[in-house]
Amino acid sequence: MNIISGLLSSEDVVLGLTATDAKRMCEEIALRIARRHRLDDKLVFRALWRREQSGSTAVGHGIAIPHARIPGITGPLLLFARSKLPIPFGASDHEPVSAFFVILVPEHANDEHLRILATVSGMFSEKAFRGQLEAATEPAAIQRLFSQWVTEIDPSNLNVKPPAPDHEGASK
């Protein structure tokens, strides 16, 4: 289990989107996530598109991680989407993108969104995971892949205790 497992259900997996460019993909994603979570799709689109215009969220290997802060939500919202055909998305490897892992966080998000981003980045950095994800054709199978992924460096699995206080320094 990881931080994604409690936030991404099979209902948050959308396959077969038909967008042909980055702007339209942000619109389709915004509409899907807004419907699912009863949000204003225009607000979600503006936040995603504004973030995309400041720099592509494509990370290479045909994958993008669009993310944005959304006023009014109380916790992270996730969506995995796959397009029917890869689309240009400004990736540094110049590969078109067909897999989109969307992260929406509250306007004043804490470090949880950074842990989600780090976990997803770790997943996508593994060639075996990318291959399994590409081969999966059902939302439930895709959700299971994300939920069951574990690695030693998965930030949500870290159990780091702070160092004990220095008692000598406490009296100074």
* 5, burial (CB in 10 Å: exposed 0-12, middle 13-18, buried 19+): middle
Q: What is the pLDDT, as a whole number, of residue 39?
A: 96
Residue 126 lies in a domain: yes
The count of other CB atoms within 10 Å of the CB of residue 123 is 20
Q: Is residue 111 part of a domain?
A: yes
Q: What is the pLDDT, as a whole number, of residue 135?
A: 96
Q: Which domain holds residue 51?
A: 10-155
Residue 58 has pLDDT above 90, yes or no: yes
List 67, 94, 108, 113, catalytic entry: 67
Confidence class for position 1, pLDDT limits 50, 70, 90: confident
For residue 164, is it within any domain? Answer: no
Which pLDDT score, from 0 to 100, does residue 151 have? 62
DSSP string for residues in the chain: --TTTTT--GGGEEEEE---SHHHHHHHHHHHHHHHHT--HHHHHHHHHHHHHHS--EEETTEE--EEEETT--S-EEEEEEEEEEE----TT---EEEEEEEEEETT--THHHHHHHHHHHHHH-HHHHHHHHH--SHHHHHHHHHH---TT-GGG--PPPPPP-HHHHT-
56 in a structural domain:
yes
pLDDT tens-digit map of 61-112: 999 999 999 999 999 999 999 999 999 999 999 999 999 999 999 998 778 8
Per-residue pLDDT tens over the stretch 9-55:
999 999 999 999 999 999 999 999 999 999 999 999 999 999 999 99
Is 160 part of any domain?
no
Which of residues 159 and 137 earns the better pLDDT score? 137
Task: Specify whether 67 is catalytic.
Answer: yes
**Reported confidence tier of residue 152, pLDDT bands at 50, 70, 90:** very low
Does the residue 167 lie in any domain?
A: no
Query: How far apart (Å, rounded) are the C-alpha atoms in residues 45 and 80?
Result: 16
Q: Which residue has the higher pLDDT, 122 or 155?
A: 122
Instruction: Specify if 58 maps to a domain.
Output: yes
Question: Is there a domain that residue 147 lies in?
Answer: yes
How many domains are contained in the chain? 1
Domain containing residue 149: CATH number:
3.40.930.10
How confident is the model over 123-138, as a mean pLDDT? 95
